[in-house]
Amino acid sequence: MLRYILRRLAWSVPTLLLVTFLVYLALRIGTDPVESYKRVNPRASRAKIQQYIDINGLDPNFVQGYIKWLKNFITGEWAPSIKGRREVWPALKDAMANTLRLGTAATVVGIFFGLIAGVLAALRPGGRRDVFINTSAFVGISIPPFISAILLQLLFAVYWQRWFGESLFPTSGVYPAGHTGFDLFLMLKFMALPTIIVAIQIIATYSRYMRSSLLDVMNSDYMRTARSKGISERRILIKHGMRNALIPVVTIAALDVGSIVGGLIITENIFAYPGMGLYFLKSFGDGDFPLLMPWMVVIVASILLFNLIADISYAWLDPRIRLE
């Protein structure tokens, strides 16, 4: 197992190199970073432009350029953003922290309630409760987040203010403008609406995964064996049913979490929530190569990492799978 993990980690290095090279190519061909720089800084001197080209590895030769970029990236010689000459790492770090906070909260809430709803639905397939949960899940999936977000903003901010004098939840940002330092309660208040929006999607998706997975398991022969043992319904459900039904669900969850690191673009955009998604939208809009490349590296690395976690959890939950 340990050897497998080490080997996978070792393999992720060439994978990362290859994928970042492809991303580098795509950005260079698709956005022309040098032009973007000139556009944002119209009065930049020749020397300044050359300096920008050097530190970002934007040489005419793509391979040489990539190697140069890679060297600077690894040694920490990161170029500042083209707009406002901000340092990239602090911006990226904040965006990651914000997205992870929102993503984790929404995932924990969403998967918890999603699994419960899925199990309740599967216990009596076709029953009234099943129909209700299925319909709700369908509605939850079909309402696009920007619509549900606007509805919630209207309810908790606009109307709440009209009815009770002040809004219950703020509708944008992480803290009020000008706030400094850490304030958990304030932060939770700001996170509430975006968390609900993302969690609704997750609940809807996972209740369906869990329902169909559990229904599959419930009809299997070993469940009949379990029933013929005379053990309690509860034990049959948990030890035999859920234990098996969770195997595919956990694997999907690990992969999903990996992609959440990429940001919850729509939700972050609506709530002006400064996470990875918003970071990407802004820097892509500006053609800000120095901001974009490290973002890409983080995304690729997290997808690789969570793929590994998915495989490990699969093997851990299912003794039939051996990691070689």
Partner 1 sequence: MTEKVLEIRDLHVTFDTPSGPLEAVRGIDLDVEAGELLGVVGESGSGKSVSFLATMGLLPARVRVTGSVLLAGEQLIGASNKYMRSVRGRLLSMIFQDPLSALNPVHRIGDQISEMLQSHQSLSSRDAAKRAMELLDIVGIPQPSDRARQYPHEFSGGMRQRVIIAIAIANNPKVLIADEPTTALDVTVQAQILEVIERVQDRFGTAVVLITHDLGVIARVADRVNVMYAGRNVEQGTIDNLFDHPSHPYTRGLLASLPRPGKQRLKPITGFPPNMVKPPRGCAFHPRCDFAADICKSEMPNLVSYGNLQTACVRARELPKSERFV
Task: Give phi and psi for 70, each to the nearest 5.
Answer: -60, -45
Residue 320 is a binding residue for partner 1 (CB under 8 A)? yes
Q: Binding to partner 1 (CB under 8 A): which residues in 83-142?
A: none
Residue 68 is a binding residue for partner 1 (CB under 8 A)? no
Stretch that binds partner 1, among 58-66, 84-92, 192-200, 216-224 (CB under 8 A): 216-224
Residue 147, amino acid = I
Residue 249 is a binding residue for partner 1 (CB under 8 A)? no
C-alpha distances in Å from residue 232, one per residue of 121, 227, 283: 20, 8, 57
Closest CB to partner 1 among residues 15, 313: 313
Closest CB to partner 1 among residues 196, 249: 249
Residue 213 is a binding residue for partner 1 (CB under 8 A)? no
Stretch that binds partner 1, among 45-53, 101-109, 184-192, 230-238 (CB under 8 A): 230-238
Residue 227 is a binding residue for partner 1 (CB under 8 A)? yes
What are the residues whose beta carbons fall under 8 Å from the beta carbon of 184, sequence distance 6 or more?
Answer: none
Taking the C-alpha atoms of residue 133 and residue 216, their distance in angstroms, rounded to an integer, is 18
C-alpha distances in Å from residue 145, one per residue of 267, 269, 279: 7, 11, 19
Q: Which of 228, 234, 285, 324 binds partner 1 (CB under 8 A)?
A: 228
Q: What is the DSSP letter of 80?
A: P
Cα angle 80, 296, 91; round to 5: 40
Number of residues that bind partner 1 (CB under 8 A): 22
Residue 40 is a binding residue for partner 1 (CB under 8 A)? no
What is the secondary structure of 240-307 as a DSSP string?
A: IIIHHHHHHHHHHHHHHHHHHTT--HHHHHHTT--SHHHHHHHHHHHT-HHHHHHHHHHHHHHHHHHH
Q: Which of 128, 162, 229, 234 binds partner 1 (CB under 8 A)?
A: 229
Q: Which of 135, 144, 239, 272 binds partner 1 (CB under 8 A)?
A: 239
Q: Which residues bind partner 1 (CB under 8 A)?
A: 220-222, 224-232, 235, 239-240, 243-244, 247, 317-320
